[in-house]
Amino acid sequence: MLSHERVWAAIDALAERYSMSASGLAKRAGLDSTAFNKSKRTSADGRPRWPSTESLAKIFEATGATLDEFMVLVKGGSNQPPRTAAQPRVPLLGFAQAGAGGFFDDAGFPVGQGWDLVELPAAGREGSYALEVQGDSMLPLYRNGDRLVVDPQATVRRGDRVVVKTQGGEVMAKVLERRTAKILELASLNPEHQPRTVAVAEVEWIARIVWASQ
């Protein structure tokens, strides 16, 4: 049976499963960082406040978790990630490698052999890969050493977090604000960095970030 207490406990457990705090999970899902705070779980008059279905959908998209996983947690099941005989693994590259020539095809898929491999916390589509953040240019959202799982086949929409590679070899993680036939308008993850407008003709590839470690 669903209860207010169990649903919120499941959100906390899901955050823990993916090595995040409740506020970290909210930020990862594109919500206000206080959205899942304990103080937000009841209204001013003491009535229970439930998470919206939209918030839950954003959590699932941000973590790669499924509704079935979530319901196991609602029922008080194990918080350990499900084990499979063949945990999906993807190639791991650094941003410097991603910016160098010869590592990707025209569609943004890594080419060649001998990559380091990392396991995904959830099933990943064939062709996905991981980029390891280097430096602090993507703070506060992504820190040095965080790993961003990128899916070149995923549909990219306004508001998505994306990795963009330019013809000049620059690789950047941004938020897609607007896309036309001629330009991409990209918001910076670091508030100290200005938004960018890049001509479509200068973009080698763009791919959506589907998961990130924290």
Q: Which two three-digit tokens encode residue 90?
A: 């993807």
4-74 shares its CATH topology with 89-212:
no
Question: Which fold, 4-74?
Answer: 434 Repressor (Amino-terminal Domain) (1.10.260)
- Local confidence pLDDT in tens for the 214 residues of the chain: 678 999 999 898 888 877 678 888 888 888 888 889 988 899 888 889 999 999 999 888 877 778 888 888 888 765 555 444 455 666 666 654 454 444 444 544 444 444 455 666 554 566 788 887 776 667 777 787 888 888 888 889 998 888 888 888 788 888 899 999 999 999 987 778 788 999 999 998 898 888 877 5
Question: Among 214, 177, 169, which Cα is nearest to 195's?
Answer: 177
CA dist 37 and 214 (Å) reads 18
**In the chain, domain spans:** 4-74, 89-212
Q: Amino acid identity, residue 181?
A: A
Angle at 106 between CA 103 and CA 108, to 5 degrees: 65
Cα 42 to Cα 178: distance, rounded to the nearest angstrom = 36
- pTM comes to 0.53
Structural domain 89-212, CATH architecture:
Ribbon (2.10)
